[in-house]
Structure 1
């Protein structure tokens, strides 16, 4: 299991280790006794209950078997796998291409009522045009050397974006002004994307804020993140996707988003920044 920079993953890992330790103690066993019954070195038991080593599915089954806790096996295995999903390398997520990754997020987008997104790099996926998404995902596929299914991935991303026009969803999105200026694709692609932003701003479900270059900062730019209701946040690192579920950490991202929203301009002033970016394309 990779080591996550998010304390959400470590917190979940510690909680799982604590549950296994309680099962062992409830069975009246000590670490050396459990190790002997499971047929492994006592050091392994120590590493598991101190969350230094993640147990495998077979480790959990053996642990529960010798402790007479077979009824807890499936829950523990599910919890263990959930920890593993909190920090997932992009190369693992995209090993079969980009389409499946786009499709896998559809249920989360459809059940989310309040979607909050901050981006300092690119236009958020739900607001992307076909040409812009094609330029972006082509670059991603090239950099990460994934199978080339860009056309299918773009179609899946656009299909996923139906939520901004359908159902009971609200989208509060804040981007840095730099997002309007970073050119992905040719000038026509960027002009189309920026024009699309002007159009979607009129949707009742969408609030788009832009943080001007000249804003006096009380919150520094950070990595792109999305918040789904108040349940989880997804953070996009260069190497991996981090899923944050710890309530205290989700709250931290909510607080950060509120600060970005305070820095951002909306309405007419936001439209002016977008129009200026279009004009700059010549």
Structure 2
């Protein structure tokens, strides 16, 4: 049977898929495909234009989670599934059949795909001979995850400790510097900003993908002799409470580049080379 995707509509916090052919229309929606651990994930499957009796006689409606059959209509395939899932018929109105499936207490292992699978019963001489696919509408289940690592560089030779919230004290000569901050491991990708004092530094997202995380590079800014300031990287996962991570440089800009400071800078440089970092010569 010919199948075609009619439309995909996003509005507010609701994702709606409308799938139909010449005889049936199937609509499926969820409040949000992105959820936090412990939340409930709720999805809907609606077949307008048909009542409950019509559905039972002509169609089979299934919910599948990561390929595992969960229900047929709202009857569970296994009684043990009721500890994780609940299902109910929302609409008993004539010509408007709708099912709601809830996955409770979402955890990372629940991430994947939820599907509303609608099959047409093919009868010959009052005998069910086969099922033809009408629609198989997938939803992505994504569970937000916190940031795993953050590396904040003031320049090529100074970087903060990845597991420390304590301001990292650095003495530098006057000049222009372009701090950078990379974070990874989060779902979805984290937002990243860098501030100098109380002012947010403009910059560029150099890299933002699910494999490598987010790398933000601030535009060069002038650091004037005989001043002190804090440069801070702040990152948070959108929609995930208490996911903010910060790293701070306490910058002291000296008026003179003393031999002592030169040695300290060189030691940092050599350490980075030893650790395999690509840094320019001092």
Q: Which has the larger radius of gyration?
A: 2
Higher helix share: 1
Instruction: Pick 1 or 2: higher relative contact order, CA cutoff 8 A, min separation 6.
Output: 1
Higher strand share: 2
| TM, length-normalised to structure 1 | 0.28
